[in-house]
Amino acid sequence: MPRRLPREMHIFPEDFPQALERLKEASGLTWTELARRLGTNSLTLRRWRSGVRPNALHLLALQDLAASLDLAHLLPVVRGCHAGQ
């Protein structure tokens, strides 16, 4: 079973809300369409935009979507999800 890193070792970029805005603009998707493609809803995206952190599954979905649109470079790297990263 993977070990969890101490909370202080988790690194979550402070500019995540801005990166999400950049991804949305570059993709040409609406917030509703972006939410649908991520398997969530507009309210959740609004929370992320206000600074609430997405869970690991949503981060993976977001990274996959960005990669499929050739926009992965717009998302910050999130480190510390698993030991060894």
The confidence score (pLDDT) of residue 14 equals 85
Residue 16 belongs to a domain: yes
Residue 28 belongs to a domain: yes
**Do the beta carbons of residue 49 and residue 21 sit within 8 Å?**
yes
Residue 44 belongs to a domain: yes
Residue 81 belongs to a domain: no
Query: Mean pLDDT across the chain, nearest whole number?
Result: 83
Residue 85 belongs to a domain: no
Q: To 10 degrees, what angle do helices 31-38 and 56-68 make?
A: 110
Residue 43 belongs to a domain: yes
Question: Could you report the per-residue pLDDT of 3-36, keeping only the tens digit for each?
Answer: 554 554 456 788 899 999 999 999 999 999 999 9
Q: How many domains does the chain have?
A: 1
**Containing structural domain, residue 65:** 10-74
